[in-house]
A and B are shown apart, each in its own frame.
Chain A
Amino acid sequence: MRHKVAGYKLGRNTAHRRSLLRNLVTSVIVEERIETTIPKAKAAKPIVEKMITLGKRGDLAARRLAGAYLMTDEALVKLFDTVGPRFGDRNGGYTRIIRTGWNKGDGADKAFLELLGSEKVLDEKREKRAENRAKKNAEARKAMEDAEAQAQHDGGIEPVKEESEDKK
């Protein structure tokens, strides 16, 4: 008999589990991809899909149902404005679980839970981040060069002296 083995308890009481799942679902919708343990990903996956179905419906009742579950307005707006329309021509299967690795401490199996089509969004995000980093680095280097030039202008011997002190 397979009585009383349905679903995931995740070692939590009802309120704790509900909070955890609401947080996970909100994060997936906002961030496109999250990394958790496999049982948590499997528990959150059907709820994410139900939320996206609400997002596709798009009427006021659906918006209120989703708003009652999601943690932030940002997630609600994103669900109804970008995520819902994105999956207009697809009947279910909006998410994907990719097994990745293991926790260092307890060896728990980790996985990504992501929305389909997240590759594009994440790549854009990554590119933007790299661009910002390059810009920041260039600025920092320029500032350093300027400071060095300034120091040399003030007194030619000073920067050399500082360097020798650093070496000690």
Chain B
Amino acid sequence: MAAQIAPPDSDPAGSGTERTELDRVVIRFAGDSGDGMQLTGDRFTSVSAFFGNDLSTLPDYPAEIRAPAGTLAGVSAFQIHFSDHDILTPGDQPGVLVAMNPAALKANLKDLLPGGLLIVNEDAFDKRNLEKVGYASNPLDDDSLEGYQVTRIPMTKMTIAAVKDSSLNKKEAERSKNMLALGVICWMYGRPLESTIAWLEKKFSKKPDIANANIAALKAGHAFGETAELAAYSVKPAILAPGTYRRITGNQAIAFGLIAASVQSKVPLLLGSYPITPASDILHELSRYKNFGVRTIQAEDEIAAISMAIGASFSGHLGVTTTSGPGLDLKSEALGLAVSLELPLLVIDIQRGGPSTGLPTKTEQSDLLHAMYGRHGESPLPIVASYSPPSCFWAAIEGARLALKYMTPVIILSDGYLANGAEPWRIPAVEKLPQIPVRFASQPNAGEDFWPYLRDETTLARPWAIPGTPGLEHRIGGLEKADGTGNISYDPDNHNLMTLLRQAKIKAIEEDIDPLEWDGDDDAKVLVLGWGSTYGSIGAACRRLRLRGIKVARAHLKHLNPFPKNTGELLSRFDKVIIPEMNMGQLSKLIRADFLIDVISINQVKGLPFRAGDLEAEIERHLS
């Protein structure tokens, strides 16, 4: 596919148009849920990625599949930040807003930068749509949009005209108006259409009428940009490290990481999963790769999903279950069993706004303490957190490595923003991926007998003896087991010992993970510490502070349990430690408890990532 597309350095518009060069742009596409804004944003992302920009995206859509058309509740938006240099976030405020109807305008205008470009589908600004969202007069006609550069385009009419030769009726034809909008934006930013055309032809290969209508609308939008002489810009390719790149979302990266872990360990993968937003895409993705021997079961509920995964782990597979907060609640008891059985298991929690059903499609980092402590009894387990969409690939492999090496369930924390957000990913060479050696027990380990809880002296892992192995028949369960033999034991001292052993096994993992790294000013007195998806916002905020000559350092935790061994020592080097989190201070609590450091919490729970600008101001406030 790549070969047929114009290389990034050719004159993109092909018309010699004079273009104003920009170093970065933030565009938000906003429309009704049915307007195809996610797809429009996704296509523009793909084109920009291929063009060679660095980028970061933020889809923001309602929980309802089809909220009432034209209402504020039904507005779906997709923001993309693309640039000629490396960027860390999807951008605080868009400089360009594409609004397909009055609801989209009303819901998003407050975020548009003063003087920003506003591109509207004027056909949708009729009396009914205006009334639905409480506009007394048409904002396109009064002076309420004075502070912006408004471009009115009759997108609906133009789309219908562009596809009039097709057999589609008016309603069907109208649906292509998102492609018209995409065509306009592609012209404005000098993006070629070929890859989108190829994509449409492939997607609608069985429905050529629809493919042609979309292509006609896309071209009409592009042509409109040129003839109406809309402002033309260019954003050069970013200077990225050499290599082959692709665009990847967090959920896709997790699926790829799991497959990679299976290949690297030669242990087949079994996913038990119950559909839940925003984790379902991992189930969809993994169910496609049967040629890798990946077994997926859509279970009857969250409890069954993790139970199936544990059953698979008992049988010599890498059992995985994917979920979000409400599902993690339900899995708690089975997860405790996995701690007791000491079997490798991955529980992947794509966090979303809580409590309860909360904000299913919005992001939050509020399951950390749940992951840490959300089981009865003393039941420690390792926690790994991804911090960008591509890093989800690493998190899956790292989680699997720990699970298989230490015979333990591992929780991987991602969140809604990482799950759906996309960034360019430098594809790693398979030869460079870590090897994950796994050996199943094949011999008795205690004279003639096999003791399932006789531990490896260094890792404290118990042997993995799988059904089908003659002579190693054994029974394990949730009742306390005697050290070594694994027989049921109610002995008080044994329970104490087993509790200590389970704790020591997890704690010792600190020797086997990367130390906590930091960057920033050598003489900085303040450290900004984060975990998870705040990585980009914290990085951008610190970068801005340092550009202004304010000294600051930052570090980001990728392992939350155990913490890297140097964590306490590193934190103690700074006068102040500031922890921004999309929760009420969960990492702060852990750091305070473990290291007796009085950290400063910055908290936000809006279902959206921190804006770098807000964070910059908040951090600065705490500096003096």
Whether both chains belong to one complex is answered with no
Residues on A close to B: CB < 8 A?
A: none
Residue ranges of B at the interface with A (Cβ–Cβ < 8 Å): none
